[in-house]
Amino acid sequence: MRDVKSLDQIIQATIEAVEKGYEQINSIAHSSRQQKEELLTKLVNHKAEILEVQAEVERLEKEEQSAGLHLAEVSRNFFVYSEQEIQAAFEDAQHTQVQLQMMREREAQLWQQREQLEKMLGRAGETEEKADKLFSQVGMALNLLSGSLQGVTVKLEEMQLRQQLSLRIIKAQEEERSRVAREIHDGPAQTMANVVLRAEICEKLMDLQPDKVRQELKDLKEMVKESLQEVRKIIFNLRPMALDDLGVVPTLRRFISELQKRDNMSIELSVDGNEEQRLPPALEVAIFRIVQEALNNVYKHAGACHTIIRLSLKPHKVGIVIRDNGCGFDAGNILNRSGKDKFGLLGMKERAELLAGSLSVSTAPGRGTEIKVTIPLKE
């Protein structure tokens, strides 16, 4: 009992410290959010000013061209125009050039300031995201610490395991978000920025070079198509829509077909049971992700030329066997080490175990790899 009371005092002191940090993190997140909104407002106003300056530059360019033509006309026919008229034409052209140069310098300054604002906005967004993430994690820890201490000596190990699982889930979510963010930033986001730039070019060339505009629009159309394909790929990796509409077997067949086209890999899928049978959504997702991760391993690490997948749909259990003729590896070191799970085997194993199933790996260097998964079906 003394140990429990001591633990209660320690936890209470910890709760107070965590609550204080919790409020401080919330304050940081709030300040970062407010700063981000202010910077965003400034950036919007800045972009509007850039557009105004660009319009003024275009107007002055036309005015400069017109003044230059007038000056050339006056210079060619100096005997027709008076000395005052020639002087006025020269001064007008010079004045227009000076204004244009000043406005171009202003445009360059505005673009530099915009870049700085965007960097500041990005840093504020990162701070806000980190603070929100930490706020959520500390809130979870605070909720765990604030719970009842009844039976704490019995449940301490269970709480630790749950905390580890929660942290693993959070880590997996953040890694997935980071991956999606990188894919969007490196793919569709870059393409969309390029589309905007090319569209601006088309606007400027519309009256000057209509034939070139046609080619630009054609290239623009291809860029949008490529971006759409990348977005669809990202959506499929997040959650294949066919999984909800058609079920796990048709989705696997479609995924394997696309994988073979892209990577020129020989993959054989056989199904023992009713292919149209629908399983619980969580089980269908688990089956698809396990097969997906296994095939990704084959493509990235195994160096295999042929892979066989056997899917067994029995009344009371689901079985999956994935076998390749690749280089194999030392499964014991991978599954037992505490470092990074290079092959995603721990994630696959946890998916199966969360559904009361099991996963086993049979492999060795130079012998290929066989993964067996069994998941029971409950009423």
CA separation, residue 334 to residues 96, 163, 184, 205, 368 (Å): 72, 23, 31, 59, 15
Domain count within the chain? 2
Indicate whether 86 and 213 sit together in one domain. yes
- Which own/partner contact pairs does 58-66 have at CB distance under 8 Å and 24+ positions apart? 60/96, 60/99, 60/100, 60/103, 61/100, 63/96, 63/100, 64/93, 64/96, 64/97, 64/100
**pTM score above 0.75:** no
The answer to whether 369 touches 363, Cβ cutoff 8 Å, is yes
Indicate whether 155 and 71 sit together in one domain. yes
Domain span holding position 24 = 2-235
Half-sphere exposure of 103 (CA within 13 A, CB side): 20
Q: What is the pLDDT of residue 9?
A: 66
- Pick 310 or 67 by higher pLDDT: 310
Indicate whether 194 and 246 sit together in one domain. no
- The pLDDT tens digits of the residues spanning 183-199 come to 776 777 777 777 777 77
Mean pLDDT of all residues in 352-367:
86
Q: What is the pLDDT of residue 150?
A: 42
Q: What is the pLDDT of residue 4?
A: 46
Indicate whether 352 and 224 sit together in one domain. no
The residues, ordered by sequence, that sit 6+ positions from 29 with a Cβ below 8 Å of its Cβ are: 128, 131, 132, 135
Q: What is the pLDDT of residue 157?
A: 52
Q: What are phi and psi of 357, to 5 degrees?
A: -105, -170
Indicate whether 161 and 88 sit together in one domain. yes
* Last residue of one domain, picked from the residues 214, 235, 256: 235
146 has pLDDT over 80: no
Q: How far apart are CA 304 and CA 298, in angstroms?
A: 6
pLDDT band of 322, cuts 50, 70, 90: very high
- The pLDDT tens digits of the residues spanning 331-353 come to 666 555 444 555 577 778 888 88
Q: How far apart are CA 281 and CA 287, in angstroms?
A: 10
Indicate whether 248 and 207 sit together in one domain. no
Indicate whether 8 and 35 sit together in one domain. yes
The answer to whether 253 touches 291, Cβ cutoff 8 Å, is no
Indicate whether 162 and 214 sit together in one domain. yes
Token couple for 69: 């033509």
Q: How far apart are CA 106 and CA 24, in angstroms?
A: 42
Indicate whether 309 and 366 sit together in one domain. yes
* Last residue of one domain, picked from the residues 235, 250, 282: 235
Indicate whether 262 and 350 sit together in one domain. yes
- Pick 206 or 281 by higher pLDDT: 281
Indicate whether 136 and 45 sit together in one domain. yes
Partners of 369 in the β-ladder = 324, 363
CB atoms within 10 A of CB 93: 20
- The pLDDT tens digits of the residues spanning 6-24 come to 666 676 677 777 778 778 8
Q: Which residue's structure tokens are 């942290």?
A: 167
273 has pLDDT over 90: no
The answer to whether 328 touches 365, Cβ cutoff 8 Å, is yes
pLDDT band of 49, cuts 50, 70, 90: confident
CB atoms within 10 A of CB 35: 17
Token couple for 195: 């589309």
CATH code at position 359: 3.30.565.10
Q: How far apart are CA 1 and CA 254, in angstroms?
A: 60
Mean pLDDT of all residues in 252-268:
83
Indicate whether 125 and 75 sit together in one domain. yes
The conformation of residue 305, written as its DSSP 8-state character, comes to: S
269 has pLDDT over 80: yes
* Last residue of one domain, picked from the residues 189, 204, 235: 235
pLDDT band of 47, cuts 50, 70, 90: confident
Q: What are phi and psi of 240, to 5 degrees?
A: -60, 120
pLDDT band of 319, cuts 50, 70, 90: very high
The answer to whether 266 touches 260, Cβ cutoff 8 Å, is yes
Mean pLDDT of all residues in 260-287:
84
**Which of the residue ranges 41-45, 168-172, 252-256, 288-292 would you say has the lowest mean pLDDT?**
168-172
Q: Classify 278 as helix, strand or coil.
A: coil
Q: What is the pLDDT of residue 153?
A: 42
